[in-house]
Structure 1
């Protein structure tokens, strides 16, 4: 009995000790997270970015948003612009309603029911996604289908061209209530433009390149101010399709072409990739815009209300999390502006610092542990975005080398030496070495960093097979 009594007493003391430790830890956690930080200077600057005049006349963005707007038998371009304005107005209305009461989700439900009317029939057209497939031959084999699709979707293509030629192209500021309904139609229209150009190439290289110039111009204009990484990656895939088209067009080009056609091909190859600086700015705007929805505090004045607010926010401080996220994005932007050959080492060093500073299971962090962990979780994808941009630059260089090798009639036995003499702007952007020549497959080769579904087996290796001389 004495032993049992002592055992129960020991268990009781242990329970009291654990309770005291738990209470102390909880108290320390509550005290550490009792007050949030003020908004950082960066956050205030993001909040104070003036709105763009996206509603202005002649803004190609409005036409792009309205690519699939109902035609109603009227002017195709003006009806698309009208839809774009209604779309932006609905976005602003929804955002205003939600900000009045961040806990009221009716505004978000209202937005999901807004369709803007019937859309132009959906269109799906994809050249086989294999790098060893001749897209031109495939398109010509399906020429009648392509021409039927061009005719059936002429409103889509008219609007695409109008957006490409519009006097201005201005994105609105990023808004979390701005879904991106136009991407599917944008990609479909772009794919159809490329297919149309391939059919035109049979009869007139000039007409085909004019069509390609329109397709590429809109893609580049959107990319210059794309305010989300999703949009930038969609545009990057479109650029990949353009470069693939150009590469295959070169293979279908007669040896002797006019200087004007040759210059147009060169200009198409030089079209820029999306600007990730504007995507990072959009990411910052999204983070700051989420602040009212991340914060659950009601601003109670009595101690019971404050206690309730603080307990509901244990381990998570919305403003501190936003400040840390913006600081991290500033660091990412600085790294992203480095040349490709310095990118991997810079991200490796940055990720090590990030792991030490924002490591999720860090055992003694009391202030904002959940928010700090969120910053670390969101940091993993940025390196991939920047490497995809540099991969596309490497592919662009490879296509330019194909163009020059074809124009100069470089022989296979001379190709390796010719590549070694290539200028810096046509070398591998990561290694600064000359691009590779695979004599076995008679191909120019560039080893990228990120998998690309248009490459063989979805690899990161870009290959361009050159025609072999007749024996």
Structure 2
């Protein structure tokens, strides 16, 4: 046999062997992936699970919020057990019937704020509270739950609580609290805000998906803005001062960090791929040549490793990292050898992890900045700092209440009387407006007239 024929024979053997090897080969599961997916999780269907109560917030009369949440998940789970994944998918978009809890929000609050609205439009506020008594009752009831567990193993079939009704329930709390303050019960008003702040801090510490974390951040931001208005307008007794300090204490690392959320999102993605593998088993086919299950799931973990590191950074470290490498938050996938035996899986893993996480992580760090601005607004009002002295005032408080990203003093907008700090992505800023009206701050707490009567607990 000539040398040429030998080479040709070897090629005839090599390429079929390579093709057969590519068809059969799959990676071994990464240890960290196995650890993540086998880690025991708390019981989702617990009667004390706040997530279920939030999911069932608008449950029909006669059914508790948790019972509704269980029933909703049960419909999806039953479809899983039947192998009818289309029915499970349909259940997400055709959730069981709910009731409409809230009326339209009074338009005045968008111009005046809650504290001014209850003074200038008490009848409209009282009417809104009467019409939405059930909404506010259910919102307040959410505070009684002691665990928060999300069904991550449902993957893309996992439903999410609605934000609008939770937001409007919080609006009801703010109206009731503003009425308390208007009647002179400042301590009671601060106590009510403290309960709401502690509730959303609890959700921040325990949320494992972006959606629930962003809901908590949005509601916590509203709490901070409201308490800044409350503290800036009314003089406080000792009890209220203590409560205010509790409300505006620094956030714990687990309340700002997205590390737990990134881990939850990884498990969510992995569970979704595993579900899809059950729905569309590859078997012996050309699809199996292009898609390897374990290699794909391993790639999802690898892509998100850098995001886990970013999520563990403090606001200042996070900002410094983004300044040095602006694209560091994006997935760190690079084409390698694994693309040869798992091209489809590689593409799917990258697509599943393609969402830009930087804005989500930044929203957590911004919360600390908003907390600091709330303190600055209260202190400036208490010390009656005139507008022209605000830059100096902000500089004096830069060490403890400065920009969370730089450590420097907060910015001052003299035209709008606004304290702010720029967002890291360069698109806008976060801040609060101050009022320097001499009539703005209540020096004495007069006995309010009867028009403030309304439903209060």
Q: For residues 240 and 114 of structure 1, what CA distance do their matches in structure 2 show?
A: 29
Q: For residues 363 and 128 of structure 1, what CA distance do their matches in structure 2 show?
A: 61
Q: For residues 139 and 329 of structure 2, what CA distance do their matches in structure 1 show?
A: 45
Q: What is the CA distance between 1:259 and its match in structure 2?
A: 1.8
Matching of residues 7-46 of structure 1 within 5 Å? 32=22, 34-46=24-36
Q: For residues 142 and 381 of structure 1, what CA distance do their matches in structure 2 show?
A: 43
Residue 262 of structure 2: aligned partner: 280
CA contact (8 A) 1:448 1:462 kept: no
What secondary structure sits across from 1:358 in the alignment?
A: coil
Q: What is the CA distance between 1:433 and its match in structure 2?
A: 0.7
Matching of residues 25-424 of structure 1 within 5 Å? 32=22, 34-72=24-62, 79-98=64-83, 104-110=85-91, 112-115=93-96, 117-125=97-105, 134-138=113-117, 140-166=119-145, 168-174=146-152, 175-176=154-155, 177-203=157-183, 204-253=185-234, 256-270=235-249, 272=251, 273=255, 276-295=258-277, 298=281, 300=283, 306=284, 308=285, 311-313=286-288, 315-347=290-322, 349=325, 351=327, 357-358=333-334, 365-377=339-351, 378-422=353-397, 424=399
What secondary structure sits across from 1:366 in the alignment?
A: helix
Residue 436 of structure 2: aligned partner: 467
Q: What is the CA distance between 1:135 and its match in structure 2?
A: 4.6
Q: For residues 212 and 338 of structure 1, what CA distance do their matches in structure 2 show?
A: 29
What secondary structure sits across from 1:71 in the alignment?
A: coil
C-alpha change, 1:63 and 1:111, in structure 2 (3 Å) is closer
Q: What is the CA distance between 1:277 and its match in structure 2?
A: 2.7
TM-score when scaled to structure 2? 0.78
Q: For residues 363 and 325 of structure 1, what CA distance do their matches in structure 2 show?
A: 16
Q: For residues 275 and 128 of structure 1, what CA distance do their matches in structure 2 show?
A: 36
C-alpha change, 1:228 and 1:138, in structure 2 (3 Å) is same
Residue 15 of structure 1: aligned partner: none
CA contact (8 A) 1:164 1:221 kept: no
Q: What is the CA distance between 1:179 and its match in structure 2?
A: 0.5
Task: Let me know the Cα RMSD of the aligned residues.
Answer: 3.6
Gaps of 5+ in 1: 1-23, 73-77, 301-305, 452-457
Task: Give CA deviations for 1:255-290 in whole Å, capped at 9, x if unaligned.
Answer: x32121222233223374565233222212211211
CA contact (8 A) 1:28 1:366 kept: no
CA contact (8 A) 1:358 1:372 kept: no
C-alpha change, 1:141 and 1:63, in structure 2 (3 Å) is same
Give the number of equivalent residue pairs.
417
What secondary structure sits across from 2:431 in the alignment?
A: strand
CA contact (8 A) 1:29 1:367 kept: no
Q: What is the CA distance between 1:173 and its match in structure 2?
A: 3.6
Gaps of 5+ in 2: 1-13, 440-457
CA contact (8 A) 1:398 1:446 kept: no
C-alpha change, 1:95 and 1:285, in structure 2 (3 Å) is farther
Q: For residues 385 and 420 of structure 1, what CA distance do their matches in structure 2 show?
A: 29
C-alpha change, 1:288 and 1:352, in structure 2 (3 Å) is closer
TM-score when scaled to structure 1? 0.76
Q: What is the CA distance between 1:353 and its match in structure 2?
A: 9.8
C-alpha change, 1:464 and 1:113, in structure 2 (3 Å) is closer
Q: For residues 128 and 428 of structure 1, what CA distance do their matches in structure 2 show?
A: 32
CA contact (8 A) 2:101 2:135 kept: no
